[in-house]
Amino acid sequence: MPQRIVVIVESHSGRIAPASLEAITCAARLQELSPAPILGITLGQDAWPTAQLLAAEHGLDALAVEAEGLVGYSAEAWLALLPELLGQLAARWVLMAATSQGQDLGPALAARLNAACIGGARGLEADEDGPLFVREVHGGKLLQRLRPLSASAVVLVQPGFFAPHLAGAGPAGQATRQRMAAVARRTADLPAAGQSQAGASLADAEVIVAAGRGLGKPENLSLMRDLAALFPRSAVAGSRPVCDDGWLEYRWQVGVTGQTVSPKLYIACGISGASQHVAGMRGAGLVVAINNDPQAAIFNEADVCVVEDVVQFTPALIASLRAL
Ligand code: FAD
């Protein structure tokens, strides 16, 4: 059986996660350097419709894995199934997006497979000995090139560095489904506790309004929500102090110890631009920064720099956008 490039694809509410579409692009580049068939794997309740979408729209061969007890993401359940399945598939490369899910699953899966684990791959190169993955270290100050020495490798693809795989190019792939034995669980999935804020997840958001300590007080987060509400597929995120102080839950934190995001538009409000924050939003498309300090480091990352008091400027911005 030929060795395969497998992409573990995330979906949310029936939509393929943009970060997974980037992982598919990375897989396609890897295929050019190290020829092998690509297979997308989906798991859980949306597995079959997502596999069909991958095959029909992205031309990928896709395998939907279904099992009793497999609903949403669970490291425990997925790790009970994936090692055996990936062995059967002769997976040489296992790619997934470096989302919070990928960062949870990837290293544990690599340990089970006795495989190399390459986190945060943002580029792909090759020399005479084969593919090399490029990743940032020290918050983006240095680049590291890594070649796996093991028989298989798990690669976490950093969002924001590969173009999302385009739908509609090329012939359709083949979707298949595989029923596996029920997963013995030590935990049960309960309905998710109410979302603390409406809108998209950070992984899915096309527009992120990010709040920093410069907002002054948590009540001013309502300005961020009003601004975000003007855009479809938007979310409000925060810097670490904002989450440390309980203004937002940690799952909305952007940065090295939070989420890595790649929205089309990132509006940084009252954020200084510390390297630990910037490492999480460097993959954003257009960056707008609002800060009252013209020397703020965030302006080094911004395409549009607004030197203003964010609490006074944001209502005016919202009013102007509403008037468009
Ligand atoms: P501040 O640094 O306090 O900056 C506030 C900014 O708001 C300033 O630039 C100020 O000029 C501006 N401002 C003040 N008032 C106004 C106003 N009225 N209008 C407009 N602008 C105003 N940070 C993260 O964000 N994410 C991480 O994942 C993360 N991980 C870390 C991991 C480690 C190991 C360490 C050591 C630190 C980490 N940090 C992280 C913290 C990071 O170093 C910074 O302390 C943090 O990002 C600063 O947050 P901030 O920009 O909101 O606040």
Other C-beta atoms lying within 10 Å of the C-beta of residue 297: 17
Beta-bridge mates of residue 144:
135
Tell the residue nearest (CA) to atom 35 of ligand 1.
Answer: 276
pLDDT in tens, 79-104: 999 999 999 999 999 999 998 889 99
pLDDT in tens, 109-138: 999 999 999 999 999 999 999 999 999 888
Between the CA of 272 and the centroid of ligand 1 the distance, in Å, is: 5
Between the CA of 212 and the centroid of ligand 1 the distance, in Å, is: 6
pLDDT of residue 119: 94
Does residue 255 have a known ligand-binding role?
Answer: yes
Task: Work out the average pLDDT over 303-323.
Answer: 97
Q: What is the mean pLDDT of the chain?
A: 92
Q: Is the CB of 296 under 6 A from ligand 1?
A: yes
Sheet holding 207-211, edge to edge: 234-238, 207-211, 265-269, 286-291, 304-307
The answer to whether the beta carbons of residues 58 and 17 sit under 8 Å apart is no
Between the CA of 241 and the centroid of ligand 1 the distance, in Å, is: 6
Between the CA of 6 and the centroid of ligand 1 the distance, in Å, is: 38
How large a percentage of the chain has pLDDT more than 90?
73
Residue of 240, 278, 288 with the most ligand 1 atoms within 8 Å of its CB, for mutation: 240
pLDDT in tens, 246-298: 999 988 999 988 888 889 999 999 999 999 999 889 889 999 999 999 999 99
Between 270 and 163, residue with greater pLDDT: 270
pLDDT category at 195 given cuts 50, 70, 90 is very low
Does residue 25 have a known ligand-binding role?
Answer: no
pLDDT of residue 192: 56
Task: Work out the average pLDDT over 222-237.
Answer: 96
Residue spans of beta strands (DSSP E) within the chain: 4-8, 11-12, 15-16, 38-43, 61-67, 91-97, 116-127, 130-137, 142-146, 153-157, 175-180, 207-211, 234-238, 265-269, 286-291, 304-307
Does residue 52 have a known ligand-binding role?
Answer: no
Task: Work out the average pLDDT over 149-166.
Answer: 92
Using alpha carbons, select from 261, 58, 15, 6 the residue that is nearest to residue 165.
Answer: 58
> In the chain, count of helices (H) and strands (E)?
8, 16
**Both tokens assigned to 290:** 């609002």
* ipTM of the complex in this document: 0.99
Q: Is the CB of 212 under 6 A from ligand 1?
A: yes
Residue ranges of the alpha helices (H) in 89-195?
Answer: 100-113
Q: Is the CB of 258 under 6 A from ligand 1?
A: yes
Contacts of 324 (CB under 8 A, 6+ apart): none
Question: CA Rg, the chain, in Å?
Answer: 21
Does residue 240 have a known ligand-binding role?
Answer: yes
The answer to whether the beta carbons of residues 214 and 309 sit under 8 Å apart is no
**Segment of 103-107, 190-194, 279-283 carrying the highest mean pLDDT:** 103-107
pLDDT in tens, 37-57: 999 999 988 899 999 999 999
- Torsion angle, CA of 83/45/159/239, rounded to 10 degrees? -110
pLDDT of residue 6: 98
What is the rounded distance in angstroms from the CA atom of residue 27 to the CA atom of residue 155? 10
pLDDT of residue 194: 44
Does residue 144 have a known ligand-binding role?
Answer: no
**Both tokens assigned to 218:** 């948590």
Residue of 103, 251, 257, 299 with the most ligand 1 atoms within 8 Å of its CB, for mutation: 257
pLDDT of residue 137: 86
Q: Is the pLDDT of residue 18 over 70?
A: yes
Does residue 270 have a known ligand-binding role?
Answer: yes
pLDDT of residue 197: 60
Q: Is the CB of 241 under 6 A from ligand 1?
A: yes
Whole-model pTM above 0.80?
no
pLDDT of residue 199: 66
Q: Is the CB of 293 under 6 A from ligand 1?
A: yes
